[in-house]
Structures are given as C-alpha cells and as structure tokens.
A and B are shown apart, each in its own frame.
Chain A
Amino acid sequence: MEGILAIGFEQGLLYSFLVLGVFFTFRVLDFPDLTVDGSLVLGAGATAILVTNGVSVFLATGVGVIAGACAGVVTGLIHILLKSGSSDTNYGPKLIAGILTTTALYSINLRVMGRSNVPLLHEKSMFDHIGDLISVNMTRWSLVLGLLVIALLVKLVLDWFLHTELGLAMQALGDNEQMIRSLGVNTNRVRILGLAIANGLVALTGGLVAQQQGYADIGMGFGALVAGLGGVIIGEVVFGMRSIRWVLFSVMAGSIVYRILVAVGLRIDWIRPTDLKLLTAVLVLIALATPTIRSRVVRS
C-alpha cells in the first residue's frame, strides 16, 4: 500500500507539469494542443543527450524546457497560417497545427537523440545532485518531497503570471477571443506565448521522467496528451475549480490521483501494463460522456 502511494505521488508529481501544460492549453487558451506527445519526448531527448555529453543536468533540463517551448511556438505559427478567415471557435486549425508539429517532432526527436533510446544509467539525476547538496539520500518520500517543492514553485510562478496584465489577457483570450482583441490585444502573440509556456511545462516532465527512469525513449510521449487530460479531469471533478489558483492546485492533485489509480491498476493481475492507454482513454471518455461531469469540464 505504501509502495503504491509513494509511486503514485512520485509519478503524479513528475507528470504534474504535463498536466499543468495540458490544462494551460485546453482550459486557459481554449486550444486543444496535440503538440504535447511530441514535446514531451523532445524535452526528454534533449535533456538525455545533453547529460550523456557531459552537460550539467540542471542546464540540460533547462534546455529541454526551452526546446519544448519552441515546439509550442511552432504550433502557434502554423495555427496562424491555417486559421486565416475562419472563426475564433473553429478548432480545426488548432488540431491540425498540433498534429503537424507532433508528426514533425517524431523525426526531429530521432535526430536529436540519434537513436530511439538514450540510456542514462550512470548519470546522476537532478534530484541526486540536490540530495548530495543537502546530504539526503533521494529515495521514495524524500524524492517526493523534493518534487513537491519544485511543483509548488512552478505553481506559484504560474499563479503570479496569470494575474499579471499579460496573464489576465491570456485568460481572457481563451474565454472570449473577440472581446480581448477588441480591447487591443494581439491575440496571435499572446496565444503563441501561452503555447510556449504549456509545452515548456510538458518538456519539463519529459526531462525529469527521463532522469528518473534512467532513459529517454522515442515512444514515451505516445498517449501523453490523453494521460494529461485524465489528470486535468480528475482534478477538476474531485477537487473543484472555484478559482484559477485553486484549479491549478486541483489538476496537480488530479495528476497524483491519476497515477495512484494507474499504480493500483498495475497491481491487478489481468491488467497488463500495455493496457493502460486503453484504460486511460476509456476513463477520459466516461468522464466526458457523463453529463454532469461534462458540464463542469467542457466549455460551453
């Protein structure tokens, strides 16, 4: 039991940045961004390849985040090209922009990594270094604690940003694009910035997961978007969404609950690890098909 909880918390916090990124695109920007599956691998791959080449893990993780942010920018630019003349609430160009970027990223990620799997077996993770610094052995709960601190820091920065002049405009963009444009905001620019932030967060999860599991793999992003959405939905439904500050907390907690459910699922004999994507898809489908949940989660 304790094992399941520890794994759930560890994985949930590692993936909380992914969940925040998905929340940022789907909810704040009203932009269902499919770049996520690719930017997660980009973050992981860039971080792994830099670390194996002797770059410090901190710098490598940072570069991974920036690479992810660039992927978001590319999606935003493609969206501008595709959307001309269509209405603000047309999701077609948004979906296609993400699909194009994520497809291109498959090739780019292989170029970055040089092969489909980059092992990090003998490299110390960011958490090992932090542990060395404060002479704590980073295993289980101490690792969870370390992750919690980082996750809370990221959340506080997002809280702050979303309440700046620019952040408020970004929130309004997802709420009513025509209105914020008629208040003089360059919505293209704000959207691109939002996509950069979201995919930077996703890439952060990629980089940290690679360090934690000891490798980056070209397939590790597959289904990341739906898993992130699972965390978002669980968080919003279980913990509520009374304010933007609160809902950021909710979706992070949702990420932990989701990973605990996954850990429990993996203990059940007849469920294979490879069934997880099916189960996640079904979970998200059930959630979205339940009218009461749907009305809470999907924008009207």
Chain B
Amino acid sequence: MTGTGGLRVEGAVKVFFTGTPNEVRALDGLSLDMRPGDFVTIIGSNGAGKSTLLNAVAGTFPIDHGEIWLDDKELTQRPEHLRAQSIGRVFQDPRAGTAPSLSIEENLCLAMLRGKRRGLARGLSASRRASVKGQLSQLGMGLEERPRSAVAKLSGGQRQALSLLMATITRPQLLLLDEHTAALDPKVAATIMDLTTQIVTRERLTTLMVTHNMELALSRGNRLMMMHAGRVILDVAGADKSSLTVPELVRKFHEVAGETLASDRMLLE
C-alpha cells in the first residue's frame, strides 16, 4: 500500500425527513473501501444516493449510523471545515466552487490556504501571486493572462476548470467530484474531463467521481461502483472493469437491482 487517501465507509445510514410520510433512506447501510490512489467512478439512477454519499464523506451533514475513515483518521464526527483540510470537492454547479466577486488569483489564494491557519499576513503575497500564475497556465485557458478579473466574468467552463484547480492545488488526500461536467456543453465537458484525468493521474489523487455517463464511468478510473437505493450494488476494478462494456453494465444493473432502470438519462448520455 502506497500513498495516502484510503477511504473506508462502514454501514453508513442517512435518513432524511425521519418519521414523516416523506422519509427517505438515502444511504442504507452503505459500505465501501478505497485504496490510496484509487480513482473510482460511481454511477446509479436518480436518487440512488450518490450525492448523499459524497456529502456524508465531506461532512455536509452527519450520518445517522456507521463510520467514515480516511486513512487512520475517523471522520464520522468531524465538522465539515476540519474534514476539508484533506478533502477537495468540485460540485455540479460551476458557481458553487468559486467566490464570484473575488478575483481569479484571490480565489486560488484562498484554495492554497486549505487547512492552514489563516492569519493577518498578506493574502496575495508576491510568491503566492507567482505560483498562482504558474498554476493557471497549466489549465491552458489563458486565465494566467488575467488573474485579476472577477470570477463572475468567467464562463461556466472556465469556472469549473478553476474550481478543479482550487480543489486539487494542495494535493488533498481525497477528491470528490459530483457530476462536475454535467452542467457544461459537451465540448467544454470533454475539456474539463481531460483536465480532471490529467490532474488526478499526475497527483495520484484518491478520487470519487459521480457521473451519469456510462461511457465515461467505464473509460476513466481504475474502479467502478454502481449505486442503487442507498447501497453499492456493483464494484468492479482492474481488468474486470477494462473489459466491461455499456450493454454489459446495463445487464448487470438489471441482474443486481432486479428492476428496470429508473432513468433513461443514465442510458442516453
């Protein structure tokens, strides 16, 4: 076992609207075990609990039962901002990951301080400015030419590229991606996805990526998990995953879930 970023979730239960007619078991005793450096893609129909899983790991809300561990640290009770020291996230909405009225370089500067004590030292010191520029040029979007423009002025794709950089710039132990290309048009989505693969591979980040695109789920990462009704119902890795095709995946889903796909979205994209 090398590196850090082993994620272990054991028997996670999350119920919303407990005790009301609308009660939902979004996570129903879910367990998973990721090795450091695993790049796991997650698929599953609408409402399967994929986003809930990522939120539970990041600490957006506490889970009702179960445990969450990152390497040898138990996260279960930790508040979100402390977990964020070692977890980077990119959301589906490109607006979610950046502060619009701050400049590009200020946003990156905030991200460089992930998990550090923020004090009264100058935020954008000369050295941070220089390093920000270098990082921006790696995106290949020309953002390094205009580090002082407000993020509000960027396109969705540019914002998402920036969010991705912000989530990974400190090389977090775990990267959570929740359909982070779903809100972009196909060409931009492909660019962001390539960038994602590039960064994840280069930095060897342990990554959990939710997607609705089966092709993508099969072509990226070293491991694929399928979720249904708050559990992981399929977990394939390595050679098994490489040889898997979309029709086989659909058939497996029917086998395991024993019902038709709730969503056409999952098939079509």
Query: CB within 8 Å of A: which of B33-88?
Result: 58, 79-82, 84-85, 87
| Residue in contact with A183 in the complex, picked from B111, B120, B123, B124, CB distance below 8 Å | B111
Is the pair B100, A164 in contact by a Cβ cutoff of 8 Å? no
Q: Mark B119-148, 1 if CB is under 8 A from A, else 0.
A: 111111000000000000000000000000
| Residue in contact with B118 in the complex, picked from A163, A176, A185, CB distance below 8 Å | A185
A77 interface residue (CB < 8 Å to B): no
Is the pair B109, A168 in contact by a Cβ cutoff of 8 Å? yes
Is the pair B115, A184 in contact by a Cβ cutoff of 8 Å? yes
**Cα A172 to Cα B114 with chains together (Å):** 13
Query: CB within 8 Å of A: which of B147-162?
Result: none
**Cα A235 to Cα B113 with chains together (Å):** 33
Chain A hits for B223, CB < 8 A: none
Q: Mark A219-241, 1 if CB is under 8 A from B, else 0.
A: 00000000000000000000000
Query: CB within 8 Å of B: which of A234-267?
Result: none
Chain B hits for A168, CB < 8 A: 102, 106, 109-110, 118, 123-124
A18 interface residue (CB < 8 Å to B): no
The 9 nearest A-B residue pairs measured at CB? A175-B99, A184-B84, A165-B118, A172-B99, A168-B123, A184-B115, A166-B118, A164-B120, A176-B99
User: Measuring CB to CB, which residues of chain A are less than 8 angstroms from any residue of chain B?
Assistant: 161, 163-169, 171-172, 175-176, 178-187
Is the pair A171, B102 in contact by a Cβ cutoff of 8 Å? yes
Least CB separation from A190: chain B residue: B118
Helix, strand, loop or mixed for chain A's interface? helix
**Cα A163 to Cα B121 with chains together (Å):** 9
Shortest beta-carbon distance from B148 to chain A in Å: 9
Given contacts A172-B110, A181-B84, A182-B89, 6 further A-B contacts (CB under 8 A): A164-B122, A165-B118, A165-B121, A165-B123, A179-B99, A182-B80
B166 interface residue (CB < 8 Å to A): yes
Is the pair A183, B100 in contact by a Cβ cutoff of 8 Å? no
Is the pair A165, B58 in contact by a Cβ cutoff of 8 Å? no
**Cα A172 to Cα B113 with chains together (Å):** 13
B101 interface residue (CB < 8 Å to A): yes
Pairs A–B under 8 Å by Cβ, sample size 19: A164-B118, A164-B122, A164-B123, A165-B109, A165-B119, A167-B123, A168-B109, A171-B106, A175-B102, A176-B99, A178-B96, A179-B97, A179-B98, A180-B99, A183-B110, A183-B111, A183-B114, A184-B115, A186-B81
